[in-house]
Amino acid sequence: MNTYKIAVLPGDGTGGEVVREGLKVLDVISKTHGFKLDCQMFDLGGERYLRTGEVLPDSVLKELRSYRAIYLGAVGHPDVKPGILEKGLLLKLRFSLEQYINLRPVRLYPGVDCPLKNKKPEDIDFVVVRENNEGLYVGEGEFIKKGTPDEVAIQISRNTYHGVERCLRYAFEYTRKRNRDKKLTLCGKTNVLTYAFDLWERVFHKLGAEEYPDIQRDYAHVDATCMWMIKNPEWFDVIVTDNMFGDIITDLGAMIQGGMGIAAGGNINPKGVSMFEPIGGSAPKYTGKNVINPLAAIMAGSMLLEHLGEEQAAKDIEDSVMWVTAKKLKSLAAGKMGYSTTEVGDLVVQGLDNKVRG
């Protein structure tokens, strides 16, 4: 029997509540599909930081490298200054483990209320491949004359050929494998960011022409991408973009797919340790109330299984989630689902059985 070692990081706020439901589903699905998840819990996040001053000790990072994948809840604590946990934990994991892809599917499930008028599930079904290790996120820059009226704050966007190429290659491969419209849209800003996106554009067309002639290449500026995502989301199949633009457009993506309650993502190192997470935050105001929507975390679990090669199990979870959105939940919003967090997890477990889904 295949056994996979999984590191579980519930993190802060509602992270623990949603991860608990995800693990509930993963536990059942692993039994019915004949594999084992050997899960180890890690206490990282705001509480540990406030208690010990540690965010991500080197020894823990080293240990995490020995796992097949990481399952993360949420990062962010109201009593910790913004930036400490985000940079010290989430971004440090993404960078240290070289998770250079942030994969974020945007899919409207049946029964989910879409804020876009007249858009149906078949219209909203694309994937954003966000570069996850470079760009504005490298934290390079400086202040000059800080605190004076002459202050200058510089924030550098670093784009390396190597980093851009591996991201684009992943996106082309993903588009081919997805096999929908076989269309890859580069989202950039070539009219203003004439260094960064010049590189992106050159590598995009070189790689596409030489190695992916079967993939249609398309380009959109980031502002236009936002417009099309609202106006004609059906135009997109796969979008590839840099770290900052990817961060922004995937929040927009989450909204058109029904909200943070459903949006999941993977931080992927194709040859290393990847990490899967619901893309929303720790939602402190809902902590401990059993009202938060666990579907995003459950879908992060599905993505984790797909990554491990347990594709049927991953698909079964998604099918069950679609049954829950179509037939059970009143809304995806916290406190308005018509069910508690735990009950939604139970529903997904029930839906894993074809006979229940009918």
Ramachandran quadrant class, 169 (left: phi over 0; alpha: psi -120 to 50; beta: rest): alpha
Binding window for Mn ion (CB under 5 A); candidates: 51-59, 60-68, 183-191, 240-248: 240-248
Closest to Mn ion by CB, 94 vs 307, is 94
The site for ligand IPM, by CB under 6 A, has a size of: 5
Q: What Å distances lie between residue 135 and 96, 142, 143, CA to CA?
A: 16, 16, 18
Distance CA 2, CA 317 (A): 19
Of the two residues 13 and 208, which places its CB atom closer to ligand IPM in the complex? 13
Q: Residue 345 class from Cβ within 10 Å (0-12 exposed, 13-18 middle, 19+ buried)?
A: buried
268 is a site residue for ligand IPM (CB under 6 A): no
Residue 316, interface with ligand IPM (CB under 6 A)?
no
Position 279 contacts ligand IPM (CB under 6 A): yes
239 is an interface residue for ligand IPM by CB under 6 A: no
CB closer to ligand IPM out of 238 and 254: 254
Taking CB under 6 A as the rule, does residue 90 contact ligand IPM? yes
Among 125, 134, 237, 247, binds Mn ion (CB under 5 A): 247
Report if residue 86 touches ligand IPM, rule: CB under 6 A: yes
| Nearest to Mn ion of 242, 247 (CB atom) | 247
Is residue 314 near ligand IPM by the rule CB under 6 A? no
Range list of H helices, the chain = 15-33, 46-52, 58-64, 84-85, 92-96, 161-178, 196-211, 222-231, 243-256, 295-308, 311-327, 341-351, 354-357
- Considering CB distances under 5 to 8 angstroms, the limit depending on partner class, which of ligand IPM, Mn ion, none binds residue 237? none
Compare residues 91 and 291 and give the one whose CB is closer to ligand IPM: 91
247 vs 306 by CB, closer to Mn ion: 247
Per-residue exposure over 268-291, b if at least 16 CB sit within 10 Å of its own CB, e if not: bbeeebbbbbbbbbbbbebbeebb
- Cβ(22)–Cβ(305) below 8 Å: no
CB of 171 to Mn ion, least distance (A): 19
Least separation, in Å, of the C-beta of 280 and ligand IPM? 9
Separation of alpha carbons 196 and 165, rounded Å = 13
- Count H helices, E strands: the chain? 13, 12
Q: Which backbone phi and psi does 71 adopt, to 5 degrees?
A: -115, 115
Residue 81's SS3 state is coil
User: In angstroms, what is the minimal distance from the CB of 349 to ligand IPM?
Assistant: 27
- Of 97 and 349, the one with the shorter C-beta distance to ligand IPM is 97
* Binding footprint of ligand IPM on the chain (CB under 6 A): 86, 90-91, 247, 279
Question: What is the binding site for Mn ion (CB under 5 A)?
Answer: 247
